[in-house]
Amino acid sequence: MNPSRGEPVATIGIMSVATNLYLDYWKTMVQSAESVSKIEDEVTFFVFTDDPKNAEIFAKDLKNVAVKVFGIESYGWPEATLLRYAIFNSQIHEMKSDILMHLDADMLFSRNPWSRVRSRLVTERICLVLHPGFWRPTGAQRVAFYASHPILAYKDLRMKVKKGGLGAWEENPKSESYVPRKLRKNYFCGGTWFGKNEAIKILLNELENQVSSDRAKDITARWHDESHINNWATENRHTIENPELCFDETYPQIRNLTPSIIAVRKIEKTR
């Protein structure tokens, strides 16, 4: 309940694929969420893993968040990321939370984001997060940033002239994830996205069909699931969040932001 208004608070479900070594990353992520969350936040983690018993044992000691485990094949890379829409869609009827959020298994929570997540869905049904590598400050802050990073300013200008906009866009017109040059405005990360339950059901179904269509043509999108959600973004309404919900400190342009969810630097053997 909303303590100030007596209104019900939207429940939140976090969907992640965590096979092989990624289950260890996922457990660390859940522990970090446990530390910043309260019981009244009503957060459930939906984990899709090839080691369900391990995940269930881990979940028994949690107090501030809940866990529901789904067993899947031992997918490697890139299948675990490319097929995530189909994986989630296969159990969508079991995920009853009001808001469903996808997080890569290798994330960490640095502060409580749940009020912010709920607020982003007041006017729209889906929220996408700008990719930290292609996000830039605005106004005077952008001028100052480029003045102190002239090489990056040159690279950005070159990319805009050559590609039409900053981003790792799919350029194969035969792929369902292809984004025409004129539509290359905002580039979103695949690691964090969320929306109201019914809207996520529609999104998952559409993107699963896109990936299946590509695979039938023996096509793999440049950045897998991320390429497909960027295609979706050009054709559907959504709201936008900055990289504080998918923070990567290696990018100098976002260092003045205050992160809530942080992307972990992975070791190579995870692939």
- pLDDT of 3: 43
If residue 71 lies in a helix (H) or strand (E), which one and from where to where? strand 65-71
- pLDDT of 243: 96
- Looking at every residue in the chain, the average pLDDT score rounds to 93
- pLDDT of 78: 84
> How far is 125 from 216, CA to CA, in rounded Å?
30
3-state secondary structure of 57: helix
- pLDDT of 269: 39
- The stretches in the chain having pLDDT less than 50 are 1-6, 268-271
Cβ neighbours of residue 99 under 8 Å, at least 6 residues apart?
10, 11, 12, 13, 117, 118, 121, 194, 195, 196, 197
| DSSP class per residue in 113-158 | -HHHHHHTTSS-SEEEEE-TTT----HHHHHHHHHH-HHHHHHHHH
3-state secondary structure of 98: coil
3-state secondary structure of 63: coil
Burial of 172 (0-12, 13-18, 19+ CB in 10 A): middle
Pairing of strands 261-263, 188-196: unpaired
CATH of 12-270, one of 3.40.50.2300, 3.30.1330.30, 3.30.1330.40, 3.90.550.10: 3.90.550.10
- pLDDT of 271: 39
